[in-house]
Amino acid sequence: MKGFRSLKLSLRFILPLAVVLGVLAYSVVPLVDKLTMRWFVRDMDMRSQLIANTLHDPLAELIGLGNKARINSLLLRAIQDERLLALGYCSDEGTLLYRTPTFPKSISCAAATDDSKAASQILQLPEGAVHVTRHHIIPETGTKGDLILVHDTSFIERRSADTRKYIIGLFVVLGVVTSLVTVFVAHLSWRGWMEGVRAMLKGEGLLKPFTAQGVDSELQPLVGDLKTLMRSMEAERRLADDSTITWSPDTLRKLLHKQLTGEKIIVVSNREPYIHSKIDAGDIEVHRPASGLVTAVEPVMRACSGTWIAHGSGNADRDTVDTNDRVMVPPHQPEYNLRRIWLTQEEEKGYYYGFSNEGFWPLCHNAHVRPVFRTSDWEQYVAINQRFADAVVTEADTDNPVVLVQDYHFALLPEMIRRVLPKATIITFWHIPWPNPESFGICPWRHELLKGMLGSTILGFHTPYHCKNFLETVDRYLETRIEHESSTISRRGQLTMVESYPISIQWPPPWQGTLPPVEQTYGEILSTLGLPTGHLLGIGVDRMDYTKGILERFNAVERMFELHPELVGHFTFIQIAAPSRSALEEYQAFEARLHALEKRINSRFTCGGIPAIILKAEHHEPDQVNRYYRAAQVCMVTSLHDGMNLVAKEYVASRDDERGVLILSQFTGAANELYEALIVNPYHVEQTAEALYQGLTMPEYEQQERMRSMRAQVRDFNVYRWAGRMLLDAARVRQREKLATRIGRES
């Protein structure tokens, strides 16, 4: 009786497995046959093309001479290949002029050269299946026609039959081995697992049957991790990988309420999302700064609510805050708090202009500008990081807030927050590249910076390459335990997960459905600039920064005019360059060089009063920039080194007409996502110039195909998905830590 039950148990495993494998084999064999046929046909197409190319010149010469004997001899020598059955030559009128003796009589010139059919086809003849291709021969004199190549395909059926046998045999062996292993494992563990399931159903826990054996302590952490992993995988499946999900503000709000129990977010950045400034009449105006960070993070804050802590840099910022230095933003539809931190000129000079932008910025960008490190700047950097950390503690409602630290201005901040709020979930996102260990070693305070960053729960970069650089840098300079497989760093009991989170922009764009058609915008921009109807436009949008490749861009425009002078007077490149860090000598020198280069190029290529380049070195609001995006046939992003560069994605989002061409530097993070852009090396002037010409002359159908694909990428991987991935990871870490705390108390 026991043996009968064992047999029944085995059959319960084996029979379904056999049925599944049988159905799978039945389904796979026809697919493999089709795939094999496609491979062989493609192989014979390539062989036919090679033979035709080899025969073309001698055959064309002999046909021109009319030497029939030598033509037949040439064709006979060519069919010595065992698979090439026959060759023939048909005139344009459909007459078979030359052929080898093996040429099938059932193949007529009309059938083989019918333009309504493909140049490559499989024909079923009484003698068997053959592969027929035709290739046009154009002799200098004589009759034009087609070379007909006939391949024997009988070998395909023989090999397909062998393949079917191998596949069926593989599934039989796989079924037998899998059945044996399954039955063995099932019999080995069935009794213990059944007791565990019964205990779980009774509410006693899955591990109770093993407790008496003393293995509870060994299995408990594993089961806890498995449960956490399953929950996070399920959440990711439902909220991220489900193709029916549209990532939006509502999606983020639901995620926060479900995964993080409605936590409000605290964002910390140097640049504030809204700046209040006094204008001439004494009134106060509000504008958003030219910042990729603000472009990306501000929509997330509007979706999640909470508090944004930033440096108040506007000359009317103090006039608009309450007694706690807070102001609700956006101005016309308040959705979150902006908490401003005040800096003196000396503090700003040391912390921001000094250490952050004369030291850290060129160091991380591998720029051809030497980083400058001063002890006084470092001291200000430490003090300001501490001031922001104190503000985070003040703004936190609980002892375990979710804090999003933004960028290189606050490398020390995570550890400072961790000291006061050890339960906090700190997500640090690094918006700029991370250098290799050798380059980072230049910094005198490298150990302090790395320790500060490792106070983060999650540390995010734009690309896996930057993550790899960071892991190698930590490995070089600190005593830690690094798990490269899981991309985690453990230091003094603190675990930091290092992940790539490619940042993006808001989708749908906030202006969607509110702007006039592209053609109308194009006409308005031409009119504003005093340019003629139909004039071609290019656009570049950057801060006035030496890492953005603006000089290289201007040089490429100049070279394009040199190579294609027919475009002089018909194309103008517009560069919007918002002033940035103009107090620094390097930036002043860069701006002077840029203006000088613009003047020189315009002196060479201005035609009929139409300039080659228009440099707008002033701030433009997002809606103004968007109008230029929609009017320009080409957008150039030629950064010499960049984290992501959201200008590329903004241009793609603006083109709801699915037109326009994006020229993108290979040294941007966006180049890893927007493959349909024209990718260039900005240091290679001729390559960039030719890409610009290609963009200006690209057919509309190709523009549409490229733009449609890039728009789908930006839509599906928008900023809400970027934030959602980080918050999901944060929720997983918080669940794991709660579980570990509970297990610690129980033990």
- Would you say residue 191 has pLDDT above 90? no
Residue 200: predicted pLDDT: 41
User: What is the DSSP pairing of strand 634-637 with strand 661-665?
Assistant: parallel
Residue 524: predicted pLDDT: 94
- Would you say residue 394 has pLDDT above 50? yes
- Would you say residue 691 has pLDDT above 90? yes
Mean pLDDT on 420-432: 93
Dihedral sign from CA coordinates of 559, 564, 565, 568: negative
Q: Cα-flanking dihedrals φ and ψ of residue 403, to 5°?
A: -120, 130
Higher pLDDT, 381 or 171: 381
The whole-angstrom distance between residue 122's C-alpha and the CA centroid of its chain comes to: 42
- Would you say residue 238 has pLDDT above 60? no
Instruction: Give the single-character DSSP code of 94.
Output: S
H/E/C letters for each residue in 468-481?
A: HHHHHHHHHHCCCE
Which token pair is 665? 């530097």
When mean pLDDT is compared over 23-32, 176-185, 498-507, the highest value belongs to 498-507
Q: Which fold has domain 20-159?
A: Beta-Lactamase (3.30.450)
First to last CA, the chain: 44
Start-end of CATH 3.40.50.2000 domains in the chain: 518-717
- Would you say residue 528 has pLDDT above 80? yes
| Amino acid type, 220 | Q
Read off the pLDDT of residues 75-103 as tens digits, 9 standing for 90 and up.
888 887 667 888 888 888 778 888 888 88
Q: Would you put residue 248 in left (φ > 0), alpha (ψ -120 to 50) or beta?
A: beta
Cα separation, 112 vs 94, whole angstroms: 9
> For the whole prediction, is pTM greater than 0.95?
no
- Is the bond preceding residue 330 a cis peptide, omega within 30 degrees? yes
Mean pLDDT on 298-309: 85
Cα distances from 688 to residues 40, 110, 607, 663, 703, in angstroms, run: 40, 49, 23, 8, 18
- Total residues found in the chain within this entry: 747
Higher pLDDT, 208 or 477: 477
- Is residue 704 within 8 Å of residue 233, measured between CB atoms? no
Rounded to 5°, the CA angle 734-745-738 comes to 5
Rounded to 5°, the CA angle 451-455-459 comes to 100
Residue 35: predicted pLDDT: 79
Most distant CA pair in the chain, distance: 104
Which candidate, 369, 376, 385, 386, places its Cα nearest to that of 355? 376
- Residue 221: CB atoms within 10 A of its CB come to 12
Higher pLDDT, 501 or 127: 501
Which token pair is 209? 């049957």
- Would you say residue 336 has pLDDT above 60? yes
Residue for token pair 């190709």: 702
The mean predicted confidence, pLDDT, of the chain is: 83
Start-end of CATH 3.30.450.20 domains in the chain: 20-159
Higher pLDDT, 724 or 142: 724
Q: SS3 of 562, please?
A: helix
> 1: pLDDT confidence band, cut at 50, 70 and 90?
low
Which candidate, 90, 52, 106, 41, places its Cα nearest to that of 74? 52
Q: Which fold has domain 518-717?
A: Rossmann fold (3.40.50)
> 213: pLDDT confidence band, cut at 50, 70 and 90?
very low
- Would you say residue 563 has pLDDT above 50? yes
Cα separation, 526 vs 459, whole angstroms: 45
Higher pLDDT, 280 or 697: 697
Residue 4: predicted pLDDT: 53
- Is residue 598 within 8 Å of residue 613, measured between CB atoms? yes
Higher pLDDT, 191 or 418: 418
- Window from 29-38, 241-250, 487-496 with minimum mean pLDDT: 241-250
Read off the pLDDT of residues 600-631 as tens digits, 9 standing for 90 and up.
999 999 998 999 999 999 988 888 999 999 99
- Window from 10-14, 21-25, 443-447, 547-551 with minimum mean pLDDT: 10-14
List strands edge to edge, sheet with 120-125.
96-99, 84-91, 145-152, 128-137, 120-125
Element (H, E) at 696: helix 685-697
Higher pLDDT, 666 or 331: 666
- Is residue 463 within 8 Å of residue 500, measured between CB atoms? yes
Residue 132: predicted pLDDT: 87
Residue 707: predicted pLDDT: 96
- DSSP string for residues in 371-435: ----HHHHHHHHHHHHHHHHHHHHH-SSSS-EEEEESGGGSSHHHHHHHH-TT-EEEEE--S---
> 232: pLDDT confidence band, cut at 50, 70 and 90?
very low
Cα separation, 620 vs 622, whole angstroms: 6
Which candidate, 150, 100, 101, places its Cα nearest to that of 128? 150
> 746: pLDDT confidence band, cut at 50, 70 and 90?
low
Q: Which residues contact 322 (CB under 8 A, 6 or more apart)?
A: none
- Is the bond preceding residue 101 a cis peptide, omega within 30 degrees? no
Which candidate, 460, 351, 479, 478, places its Cα nearest to that of 414? 460
Residue for token pair 């001031």: 387
Exposed/middle/buried for 151, CB within 10 Å: 0-12, 13-18, 19+?
A: buried
Q: Which residues of 157-177 are buried (b: 16+ CB within 10 A; e: fewer)?
A: eeebeeebeeeeeebeeebee
* Residue 130 β-bridge partners: 123, 152
Read off the pLDDT of residues 508-517 as tens digits, 9 standing for 90 and up.
887 777 888 9
Element (H, E) at 5: helix 2-65
